[in-house]
Structure 1
Amino acid sequence: MTALSLLLLLGSLLSMVQADRSTGDTKFALKLFRVLVRDKSRPNIVFSPSSIRTALVLAYLGAEDTTAEELKQTLSLEGSDKNDVGQRFAHRLAQEQKQSGDDAQFSYANRIYVAERYRFIQAYQELAGKYLRASAENVNFGERMKVSQQINSWVAAKTHDQIKDLISADSLSSDTAAILINAIYFKAQWEHAFSESLTAVHDFASSDGKKVRTSFMFLWEFFRYAELPSLNATALEIRYKGTNIVLLIILPLEEQGLYALEKKLSDVDLHEISSQMRREHVQLQMPKFKLEFEVSLKPVLQQLGIKTMFDPNADFSSLVEGADMAISEVKHKAFIDVNENGTTAAASTYVEVMAKSVKLPNRKTYPFIVDHPFLFAIKDEHSTFFLGHVNRPYY
């Protein structure tokens, strides 16, 4: 049997997914988050549910029977069949292009690399090309260094050099049948920028109880704000200029309340939190931060119920002609940079197939001082693009 390897990559810019995926996207985002936060070895997390989900859809389009059903259920895909699922993603892609403009850059790309000895099933190539705009290229995976450089160059170009060295030459072999890749890039300015002259160093209470000196940004402005007594937290949305995208910050009232907050969030829709917000004047103080995160998603996806695609019973008979395939690896890499001007975020996902073997009116000002661990999401009214938490900010 030949193994199908799916690689998921996240880079340094924001990923964007639109309305047609709202329910499924949010469900899948929270499923992933619940599992990823169990690993306490790394204080900070950032990942793109949208990138991961899209890369896995590339695999779903070539799957059948139990393999396809597990993917569809876990990814919360909406649609009666593959053609319907594909149409929904095509609609999303068309909507995403509207986010690009003078104030925001957005690019989104899928690509498939297939071993020279294999040919894609025509129906799969039509679905992936028509709906996900995934172009295909034949390569000789036996030339591991050359092909890894080729793939990494493509990812770096699509993420504006925010994601580099995604695939190592050692991860490829002559048994590799295909690599399915998604890359997303987003860069946008704040609707109300922070003044760099106000940035100052203050204490941030990290998750280990220590006070760390961190650069904080300051802004007095009107934001959408909410008090969330059921979560023992407050929330704030910071809008990106020229888009309908926001950075949502959920801040526990207790200094070390992030763990308890995340347990409660497992049953809460982030869009429900946004619906409770109202426009208020806020004294905002938050740290600058840069995060990088890389993780193998194979064990995570197995915990979520996607198991068959990794074992000998995997069925990708609608993907490649003349090969019995399974997924060998799903890898995710993400980057985000939040500073006075705005946010840069990137995401990429790959799947590899291998042989198995300012003066204010007289009104209340709400302080929102982000000086202890918090949760964040980059989202619009429909979808969650990036999700993560910060226990100790670095910049």
Structure 2
Amino acid sequence: MNVITSAPRPALLPRRVVLAAALGGLVGSPFLAGCGRDPITSDMVRANVDRNRPDAMPTAATVDSLTRFGAEISSQAQAGSHNNFLCSPLSLWLALAMTRNGAAGRTAAEMDKALRFGDLAGLNQGLNTTSQLLAERSGKQQTSSRTGKVALRIANQLFGDQTFSKDPNAWRRPFLAAVARYYGTGMALADFQHKPADAQRRINDWVADQTNDKITKLLPDGMITGDTRLVLVNALYLAAPWLEKFAAAGRRPFHRHDSVVPADMMRISMDSGTAKTMLGTVVRIPYLGNQLAMTVMLPAPGREAAVRDRLVRELPGMLGQLAPAQVILTMPKFSYRTTIDVKLVLRSRGMELAFSDSADFSLMSPQPLKITDIAHQCTIGVDEEGTEASAATAVVLDASSGSSARPIEITLDRPFWYVIHDLATKVPLFVGYLADPTAS
């Protein structure tokens, strides 16, 4: 279908659109129930197209770009900091890829470069395949000694202003077709113009429901106003226990950047994968079902900054094949929440036009729009049972080692990087840095 363009309307028209993505849930507990109600009951604006079937695997180019983007944004956001860090490259990509389908011209080109997006059709189908394949990881899992349930699902939802959307030309049809075909969603109508607080509460409730109440306030007070015209939300829910349960190991010293704190530790002896490089030691901790894993990188003493600066080079290797080994691993339990200024990072990567009055989102709507803010919030908790992790992103638019017969002992008693990822596709769900297991 051809895109019908129109000249910008006069000034004083609303120019605000909010796009939001949330990723969250629980990884670790074998007793989790699924998400509850779906509060979307209003009329929908949706393209009458079926969602594309997934390919056998996402392309190597898609996974490589996503992994490199995750490493780059993590390295940039963590630069100069000695605090805990966590982000979700997949959540960010899903939110911003939906946004990219409405961008044109130089705005689109800057987004592609800053976000490492490739060809738009390939990007869309790659994320469509990734989302649907990850959903297949769900189900009951059992070993000779452990039974549990893995739940992994991804939901996308658009919320459009009901008054604005009454105009049949408010939203470009190819844009609606793209989000339906590749992201499986349509647009629920909300009263942004007259009841912005109620609309914001409704969106936050939807996110909380999709993330098992791990993200309860994705949109902060005041983000939704009477000028808001669109909110795009992505939610990913993940629940899985470890393949083998850890045992409590009592309190032991953890060496922070500038001090030592007592940390609650846990310990396990397991068949796993490991590697040792000049920069540090890598070890993999599988989740039940052996389809998902947490892989950690413990920097060698004095090499912490080098690992961060070379994370783009190190991360793909962390997600690849590791040498099998018997590992005795001791690591801290931890739980914390972080917020990242994604807008600042993306601007430093050359994505400027999207945030300016010269932004071109004409493939989304005839009205002039620009991004005004991007918020990304993550939470994680790790204990003997598994990992509890969640993340949320809001995009706001205004109008290497060999195996050994002897067990390898690894103790994570100082800051380390970790990534939660899918083993078959090598897609990174979370990238994090633990600086202090006692900080929340």
Regarding TM over 0.5, the answer is: yes
- Pairing 1:379–2:421 present: yes
Question: What corresponds to 1:127 in structure 2?
Answer: 178
**1:302 matches 2:380:** no
Where 1:99 maps in the other structure, the secondary structure is coil
In structure 2, C-alpha distance between the alignment counterparts of 1:374 and 1:68, rounded to whole Å: 36
Q: Would you tell me which structure has more helix in proportion to its own residues? A: 1
SS of residue matched to 1:88: helix
Distance 1:151-1:274 versus aligned 2 partners, 3 A rule:
closer
- 8 A Cα contact 1:182 1:350, kept in partner: no
Contact 1:9 1:166 (C-alpha < 8 Å) held by counterparts: yes
> Which of these residues, 316, 320, 323, is aligned with residue 361 of structure 2?
316
**Alpha carbons 1:144, 1:169 under 8 Å: kept:** no
Change in CA separation of 1:265 and 1:12 when aligned onto 2, cut-off 3 Å: same
Match of 1:200 among 250, 253, 257: 250
Q: 2:133 aligns with which of 95, 107, 115?
A: 95
Do the aligned partners of 2:71 and 2:315 also contact (CA within 8 Å) in 1? Answer: no
Task: For 1:70-85, list aligned pairs within 5 A.
Answer: 70-79=110-119, 82-85=120-123
- 1:365 aligned to 2:407? yes
Match of 1:358 in 2: none
Shift of 1:12: 4.2
Q: How much does 1:292 deviate?
A: 0.8
| Mapping of residues 129-278 of structure 1, within 5 Å | 129-142=180-193, 143-195=195-247, 198-208=248-258, 210-229=259-278, 231=279, 233-254=280-301, 257-266=303-312, 268-275=313-320, 277-278=322-323
Gaps of 5+ in 2: 1-10, 28-56, 141-148
Structure 1 92/265 Cα, relative in aligned 2: closer, same or farther at 3 Å? Answer: closer
Q: 3-state DSSP class of the match of 2:265?
A: strand
Distance in 1 of aligned mates of 2:102 and 2:138: 31
Correspondent of 1:111 among 150, 157, 181: 157
Q: Secondary structure at the match of 1:387?
A: strand
Q: What is the CA RMSD across the aligned residues, in angstroms?
A: 2.0
State whether residues 25 and 390 of structure 2, in contact with CA within 8 Å, keep that contact through their aligned partners in structure 1.
Answer: yes
Measure the CA separation in 2 of the matches of 1:291 and 1:19: 31
- 1:338 match: 382
Query: Which whole-Å CA distance do the structure 2 matches of 1:350 and 1:325 have between them?
Result: 16
In structure 1, how many angstroms separate the alpha carbons of the residues matched to 2:226 and 2:198? 13
1:56 Cα deviation from its structure 2 partner: 0.2
Deviation at 1:275, TM superposition (A): 4.0
The worse-fitting range, judged by mean Cα deviation, of 140-149 and 52-61 is 140-149
Alignment partner of 2:291: what SS?
A: coil
Alpha-carbon distance in structure 2 between the residues aligned to 1:328 and 1:174: 15
Contact 2:72 2:311 in 1 (8 A): no
SS state of the match for residue 153, structure 1?
helix
Q: Displacement of 1:86 after TM fit?
A: 2.0
Aligned partners of 2:321 and 2:300: how far apart in 1? 17
3-state secondary structure, aligned to 1:176: coil
Matches of 1:271 and 1:60, distance apart in 2: 25
Alignment of 1:27-42 (within 5 A): 27-38=68-79, 40=81
Number of aligned residue pairs: 375
What is the identity, as a one-letter code, of the residue corresponding to 2:129? H
Q: Secondary structure at the match of 1:191?
A: coil
Alignment match of 2:103 (pick from 63, 80, 83) = 63
Give the drift of 1:9: 3.4
Q: What secondary structure is seen at the aligned counterpart in 2 of 1:134?
A: coil
Secondary structure at the aligned position of 1:262 is classed as: helix
Q: CA deviation at 1:313?
A: 1.1
Task: Specify the SS of the correspondent of 1:73.
Answer: helix
Distance 2:363 2:188 in 1: 18
1:173: how far off?
1.2
Query: In structure 2, how many angstroms separate the alpha carbons of the residues matched to 1:182 and 1:289?
Result: 26
AA at the equivalent of 2:19: L
With the length of structure 2 as denominator, give the TM-score of the two structures: 0.81
Q: How does 1:5-20 map to 2 (within 5 A)?
A: 5-13=18-26, 19-20=58-59
The 5-angstrom pairing of residues 285-300 of structure 1 reads 285-300=330-345
Which amino acid is the alignment partner of residue 152 of structure 1?
N
Q: Deviations over 1:276-305 (max 9, x none)?
A: 621111111000111211233211111122
Q: Greater shift after overlay, 177-186 or 146-155?
A: 177-186
Q: Distance in 2 between matches of 1:296 and 1:13?
A: 24
- The 3-state SS of whatever aligns with 1:368 is strand
- In the alignment, the residues of structure 1 paired with residue 320 and residue 132 of structure 2 have an alpha-carbon distance, to the nearest angstrom, of 26
* 1:208-240 deviation digits (Å, cap 9, x = unpaired): 2x11111100111221011112x1x11100011
Other-structure match for 1:352: 396
Which segments of 5 or more consecutive residues in structure 1 lack a partner in the other structure? 356-361
